[in-house]
């Protein structure tokens, strides 16, 4: 597939890049700032128009370089599941809109729930119109608790959740590697910059290859979704699993390259790596793995032979419906 961006996609990328460059990098973890959230919403990256999905994914990847300004994924899922336009109207006014991930009954952690103006469940119903009870965490993040009376039914938007989650992870990884690359060039040890040592160079180079691969996987999935490819859901699940594996390594290697938690805070690295941890925690791997396993079983039934033991799309048969 040709990954050269269109003029429109490049324009979106450049506009978001200008916003990213204005965001502060130094200082403590800033998990939420309302004015920053409002500025992010002006970029209009949250929408439901299928024709602009590819461009919005390009923009979300770029925005991730500055960290999560708020419940980006949660607000997008609320938009997709809402049938009343309440989410869209609230976001147009700069409100904090979040949503629950599919979860069992009982207390559930809701991203940015403690500062939310509107909270949706995974089925698109409003469950709260005020901030939720705040949780206590090691990092100063404004997540809240919601006590669900019943378990969420199976979600019909998992393809979108995997795609948008992978796009955000892709941007967060790029931002973390940029910060780390700048740091190792100026931090000296034994009379040389850290970047001069192979023990730093090789792991970071491997992380860059993984992050670039995820970037291309997201663009491929977005393009398949726009043109109605019947393997878009499979591509989304693969992109998400690849993003999770890459993000785990990028987080570990970037923190090791800094060598001290204090430096990670001062540089803004933690602002990116905690965002990666949040997305990995709330989306998880099980649904994507189960979906791919089911796809492979269907492939065996349709072809009468065993699909290849690899993660390329040729190993899966098209399946009807969406994940």
| pLDDT tens digits along 234-281 | 999 999 999 999 999 999 999 999 887 667 777 889 889 999 999 999
Residue of 261 and 290 predicted with greater confidence: 290
Per-residue pLDDT band at 321 (split at 50, 70, 90): very low
CB atoms within 10 A of CB 196: 14
Query: What's the first-to-final CA gap in the chain, in angstroms?
Result: 23
* CATH topology (fold) of 158-315: Butyryl-CoA Dehydrogenase, subunit A; domain 3 (1.20.140)
Contacts of 286 (CB under 8 A, 6+ apart): none
Q: Are 150 and 162 in contact (CB under 8 A)?
A: no
Length in residues, the chain = 323
H/E stretch holding 251: helix 232-258
pTM of the model: 0.91
% of the chain at pLDDT higher than 90: 63
Please give the Cα distance from 304 to 130 (Å, whole number).
Answer: 54
pLDDT digits (tens, 9 = 90+) for 51-107: 999 999 999 999 999 999 999 999 999 999 998 999 999 999 999 999 998 888 889
H/E stretch holding 213: helix 198-226
Least confident of 199-208, 225-234, 252-261, 296-305: 296-305
Per-residue pLDDT band at 201 (split at 50, 70, 90): very high
Please give the Cα distance from 292 to 299 (Å, whole number).
Answer: 10
Per-residue pLDDT band at 300 (split at 50, 70, 90): low
Query: Strand pairing of 97-99 and 118-120?
Result: parallel
Q: In sequence order, what E strands does the chain have?
A: 97-99, 106-110, 118-120, 126-128, 144-148, 188-189, 192-193
Average pLDDT, the chain: 88
Please give the Cα distance from 220 to 105 (Å, whole number).
Answer: 35
Please give the Cα distance from 99 to 46 (Å, whole number).
Answer: 14
Please give the Cα distance from 170 to 142 (Å, whole number).
Answer: 23
Query: Strand pairing of 106-110 and 118-120?
Result: unpaired
Per-residue pLDDT band at 323 (split at 50, 70, 90): very low
> Among candidates 250, 244, 241, 236, which has minimal Cα distance to 280?
244
**Helix, strand or coil for residue 127?**
strand
For the chain, give every domain's residue range: 7-148, 158-315
Per-residue pLDDT band at 31 (split at 50, 70, 90): confident
What is the greatest pairwise CA distance in the chain?
A: 63
Please give the Cα distance from 301 to 226 (Å, whole number).
Answer: 28
Per-residue pLDDT band at 322 (split at 50, 70, 90): very low
- What are the φ and ψ backbone dihedral angles of 206, each rounded to 5 degrees? -65, -40
């Amino acid at each position: 597939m040709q990954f050269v961006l269109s003029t429109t996609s490049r324009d979106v990328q450049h506009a978001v890049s200008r916003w990213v460059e204005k965001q502060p990098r130094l200082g403590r973890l800033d998990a939420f700032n309302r004015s920053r959230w409002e500025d992010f919403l002006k970029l209009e990256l949250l929408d439901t128009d299928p024709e602009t999905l590819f461009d919005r994914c390009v923009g979300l990847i770029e925005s991730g370089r500055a960290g999560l300004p708020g419940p980006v994924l949660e607000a997008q899922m609320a938009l997709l599941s809402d049938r009343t336009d309440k989410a869209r109207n609230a976001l147009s006014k700069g409100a904090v809109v979040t949503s629950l991930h599919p979860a069992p009954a009982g207390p559930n952690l809701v991203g940015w729930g403690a500062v939310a103006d509107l909270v949706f469940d995974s089925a698109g119903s409003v469950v709260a119109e005020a901030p939720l009870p705040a949780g206590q965490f090691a990092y100063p993040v404004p997540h809240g608790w919601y006590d669900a009376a019943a378990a969420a039914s199976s979600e019909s938007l998992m393809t979108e959740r995997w795609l948008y989650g992978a796009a955000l992870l892709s941007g967060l990884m790029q931002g973390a590697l940029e910060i780390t690359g700048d740091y190792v060039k100026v931090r000296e040890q034994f009379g040389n910059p850290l970047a001069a040592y192979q023990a730093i160079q090789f792991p970071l180079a491997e992380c860059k290859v993984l992050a670039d691969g995820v970037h291309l996987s997201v663009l491929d999935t977005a393009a398949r979704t726009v043109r109605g490819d019947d393997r878009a859901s499979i591509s989304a699940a693969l992109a998400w699993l690849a993003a999770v594996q890459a993000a785990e390594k990028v987080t570990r290697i970037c923190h090791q390259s800094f060598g001290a938690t204090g430096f990670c805070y001062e540089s803004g690295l933690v602002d990116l790596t905690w965002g990666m941890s949040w997305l990995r925690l709330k989306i998880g791997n099980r649904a994507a793995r189960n979906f791919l396993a089911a796809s492979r079983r269907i492939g065996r039934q349709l072809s009468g032979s065993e699909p290849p033991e690899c993660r390329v799309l040729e190993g899966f048969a098209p399946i009807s419906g969406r994940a």
